[in-house]
Amino acid sequence: MLMYNVNRTKNGLQFEFSSNYVYVDKTVESCINFVRERSLDISEFDLSIALHEVLSNAVRHGNKEDPTKNVLCNLFWEKDMLQIEVRDEGQGLSSGDAMKRKSGVLEPHGMGMSIIEGLDFECHYVCEKNIVLLKKKVKVHSN
Amino acid sequence: MSQTITVQPDYNITVSSSDVLKDELLRHIREGADHIVVDFSQVKIIDSTGLSVLISTHNTIKDKHPLELVNVSDDIKKLLAITRLDKHFQVN
């Protein structure tokens, strides 16, 4: 049975959902609404793309699209730093570079992490590498 | 003789919707299109899965004509530059 839960925390949002791409879209939308509410000065396009990439990777590569496995996402903003932690139930990557695209080769796979880094998010793999942590320095919009 | 077709997705091209675009592009290729133009005027977001669909299409037809993208937003142009796909597709 598919599940989707979202909880508001002191500084952000916590999500837990079954491995289904519709829930990826739903989570991205909620996160965008959160940064709008807080007037955070971050490109909604950049955040949407980074979230799509990291959440889709968790569903596809981490949980192998198994709907009985869940994705956990914790987005929070603290001390001018927006952090997004995504955890799946997979085995993790064998190498931090495993998802990267070979430079100069036009391949239809492996672009996701390059895109995240290209959008200037700090990207860290934690623990057994089934956790990805994205960070970006973000202030409140001055207007 | 070259057969040009323009496709205009009216949705964001992400992992949950990219199969719709993939099916449409494949249908046009099967029907003989060798110059494909994708009009991005209604597309705000495209993720790596969507880009993969464009790459596969480009790889199929590139000997005749590179995939052409028109009405592309500055944000999506930035993404194409990050992935260096702007060196392969014709972007307007």
Per-residue pLDDT at A91: 80
Q: What is the extent of the structural domain holding B76?
A: 4-91
- Residue A141: what pLDDT? 80
CA-to-CA separations, B10 to A22, A124, B13, B67, in angstroms, rounded: 18, 35, 9, 18
Q: Which positions in chain B touch A115 (Cβ < 8 Å)? A: 47-48, 79, 82-83
CA distance B47 to chain A (A): 6
Chain B touched by A26 (CB under 8 Å): no
The CATH number linked to B73 is: 3.30.750.24
Could you tell me which residues are beta bridge partners of residue B13? B46
- Distance between CA atoms of A17 and A33, rounded to whole angstroms? 18
Bigger pLDDT: A96 vs B24: B24
- How many of the other CB atoms lie within 10 Å of CB of A105? 7
Query: What share of chain A has pLDDT > 70, as a percent?
Result: 85
* Nearest by CB: B15 against A24, A46, A101: A24
Write out chain A residues lying below 8 Å of B79, CB-based. 49, 115, 118
What confidence score (pLDDT) does residue A1 get?
A: 86
Number of domains in chain B: 1
- As for the ipTM of the complex, it is 0.90
Work out the minimum CA distance from B21 to partner chain A, whole angstroms: 15
* B40-70 pLDDT tens trace: 999 999 999 999 999 999 999 988 899 999 9
Q: Quote the CA–CA distance of A25 and A19 in Å, as a whole number.
A: 12
